[in-house]
Amino acid sequence: MVDILYEATKKCGVCDGAVKVTKVRSRLSLIKQDSDFCTYYKEVNPNYYAVFVCPNCGYAAQDTYFEDAPLGIQDIKKFLDSRTVNVNYSGNRTLEQALSTYKLAIFFAEMISALPSRLGGLYLKLAWLFRENEQDNEELMALEKAQQCYEQAFLREKMPIGGMSQLTVEYLCGELLRRIGRFEEALTYLGKVVANPQAKLEKRIYDMARESWNLARQAQKEQQTG
């Protein structure tokens, strides 16, 4: 594993301090992808390193907006001012450490009522880490949170969000509902995706939505006859 990880210096969005962060090189060998976009690579799980944590003040956020001063920065400063911070997540991270970084980032994102899409992204990745750790109940709880966030994002935010088209977000909502066992609602979302004329232009999402719709329908039947 040569040079998969490397160090970079970032500026904390809350205290402006310099933070040494560990990043993952973008060229990784793809193994597979789950139907909720959880992606597996041969070398390393890049999601382990997607949250930056400031060892100076304790703030944590997703790498893509860690350097931006968050809305509600005063609330975060007030909270952190009265606390002694002792966090250091630089260098290699274990799965346990990665889980902790997501819990921290979610804590701050919820404190400042961050955009639902941002919170949804954190909860979704947290769920994937629980999946890797075979913590099924925790995974389902995180998926449910992610679903609520993406539903809010779908209603309130301008698409695309986080590189996802409107159709993709709609599919993801349906797929997450299926995974948490809310089949009726899942079928409504997925049915809308399949029936959308736009879906012809997004063939991959269309196929995934059909597959998920079939699985949800079957699971619903089994539940009813069960």
The amino acid at 224: Q
- For residues 3 and 81, which CB has a smaller minimum distance to Zn ion in the complex? 81
DSSP three-state, residue 18: strand
- For residues 22 and 39, which CB has a smaller minimum distance to Zn ion in the complex? 22
| Separation CA 163–CA 165 (nearest Å) | 7
- Give least dist CB 58 to Zn ion, A: 7
- For residues 17 and 160, which CB has a smaller minimum distance to Zn ion in the complex? 17
- Give least dist CB 8 to Zn ion, A: 16
- Give least dist CB 56 to Zn ion, A: 4
Q: Contact residues for Zn ion (CB under 5 A)?
A: 12, 14-15, 17, 54, 56-57, 59
- Give least dist CB 173 to Zn ion, A: 34
Torsion angle, CA of 152/69/56/110, rounded to 10 degrees?
A: -20
119 CB-side CA count, 13 A? 23
- For residues 70 and 116, which CB has a smaller minimum distance to Zn ion in the complex? 70
- The runs of H, that is alpha helices, within the chain are 73-81, 95-111, 116-132, 136-156, 166-179, 183-195, 203-225
The answer for residues whose C-beta is within 8 angstroms of residue 158's C-beta and 6 or more apart is none
Whole-angstrom CA distances from 42 to 32, 83, 128, 220 are 9, 39, 16, 35
- Give least dist CB 16 to Zn ion, A: 7
- For residues 12 and 176, which CB has a smaller minimum distance to Zn ion in the complex? 12
- Give least dist CB 71 to Zn ion, A: 16
DSSP state for residue 160 in the 8-state scheme? P
- For residues 35 and 56, which CB has a smaller minimum distance to Zn ion in the complex? 56
